[in-house]
Amino acid sequence: MYIGVDCGTQSTKVVVVDVERGAILAEASRPHSLIEDDHGRREQDPGEWISALRGALGEALGSVGIDPMAIRAIGVSGQQHGLVALDDKGEPVYPAKLWCDTETAAHNAALVERLGGEAGCLDKLGLVLQTGYTASKLAWLREREPQAYRRIESLLLPHDYLNFWLTGERVTEAGDASGTGYFDTRARAWREDVFAAIAPELDPDRVLPRLIEASEPAGTLRPALARELGLSSDVLVSSGGGDNMLGAIGTGNITPGLVTMSLGTSGTVCAYSPAPVIADSAMVANFCSSTGGWLPLICTMNVTSATTRVRELFGLDLETFGERIASASVGAEGVTVLPFFNGERVPMLPEASASFLGLSGANVTQANLCRAVMEGATFGLRYGLDLFGSLTEGASQIRLIGGGAKSPVWRQMVADVTATPVICPEVTDAAALGAALQAAWCHQHAHGVTLEALCTRLVHLDAASVAEPDAGATAAYREVYARYHRALAERHGLAP
């Protein structure tokens, strides 16, 4: 049996997987709180992740039929880009700044300029720095919290930090390291000259984690922790990775030809590539995968985080929210929402705020506002999908994951907006499953077991979730999506 952990923005989830039976035996989760303000600050206390992991792991292992001593390995997925800076005792010097933190937008712009603009970034890193990557967070900490900065002995990402707590080892792998902004995604190596431009006082050999291959273990479970949890002392902890990379594994997106789209707090679109990719747009990130390949990816910052704000504003539960959306027509009778409550990464508008446009006395209804915010979040993902160009042309299917994927009305909307059939894996919280699959691969690959074979055994598609594009709705959305582009041009000066 294997354990998969996904430490996201809102919660930490744990699954226990029996690979031989091809079954998930137990699931549990615990929530996190968020530190935020009106200036784009989004932070968390890393101690909350450990508390949540302890609680969720204890609940899952306590489930009927689980023998803790049968656990062979643990895999950890973590929200990408978060800056976890530790002192010489392994304690955080400052709360972790998260992927959705836009307080560092000015620092990111300055770094891009210092590296020679977009061309310089592509040359040095294989991608263009964006607000949200770890690099600008470190530059911000250096300028704004110099006392904390001077205490830094280690720089980790969220999943690295949980691996450190589990094993005592400071390691990382290329997938999650891709999103730091000081990692060459083509050479799969730290870019020390870029790191020096960000944090000249810090020695990269001392503060950066050791790079390991995706199939390598981060280490074994600390003996004291193994005893506390009732686990064997030889339980491996796999390399783990970012939530997008492990989510791709959890949907079986480890070979060319598939598209994974996530409707989570944020939204992502990714497609596997066996070689590095330099896309036409700087917004497509040439990330490495957590399988040894590459995972070109775009990320939008306002998906369920945006729909939840409107849903809670009206005091609606999820079922009623879905009913309101289904009762409104395509295009919400002219209401357009640019749902940039957290700023936005794609399109690249880190300092933007949300806009509700086209309102009139006739169309200001609860149903239209609910539908328009969901359409706005979906259009952002379509905008990103369009940026892939030939990378995703002719995709026969979108595999949809994340909390929003549980909504039938949202699945249909994605199918209609993208004109592509949609299907969900049976496990829509795919990052935790992907982490468990990677853990099994790490434990068994020496015996010839491939990740492809494990995905075939464990990644099951839910036939009941299929949404085929409706020809009439798809045609109607062409004009509504064009209206979204016109709104971007009028409000933010982006070419339609």
- Residues with catalytic annotation? 243
Rounded to whole angstroms, the Cα distance separating 125 from 334 reads 42
E strands, 116-208, are: 154-156, 171-173, 183-184, 189-190
Q: Which two tokens stand for residue 468?
A: 């085929």
Tokens 């464990």 found at: 458
CA 431 to mean position of chain CA atoms: 9
Alpha-carbon 323 to chain mean position? 28
Separation CA 35–CA 45 (nearest Å): 8
Residue found under tokens 């086209």: 358
Which residue intervals of 192-235 are DSSP H helices? 192-198, 204-207, 223-229
How far, in Å, CA of 77 to CA of 214, rounded? 12
Distance CA 489, CA 483 (A): 10
Go through the chain and tell me how many residues it has: 496
Q: What string of DSSP letters covers 309-369?
A: HHHHHTT--HHHHHHHHHHSPTTGGG-EEE--BTBBTTTTBTT---EEES--TTT--HHHH
Contact assessment for residue 439 and residue 236, using Cβ atoms and an 8 Å cutoff: yes
**DSSP type of residue 50:** H
- Asked if 419 and 279 count as a contact pair (C-beta separation under 8 A), the reply is no
> Contact at 8 Å (CB) between 172 and 157?
yes
3-state secondary structure of 202: coil
**The amino acid at 271:** A
With H, G, I as helix, E, B as strand and everything else as coil, classify residue 7. Answer: strand
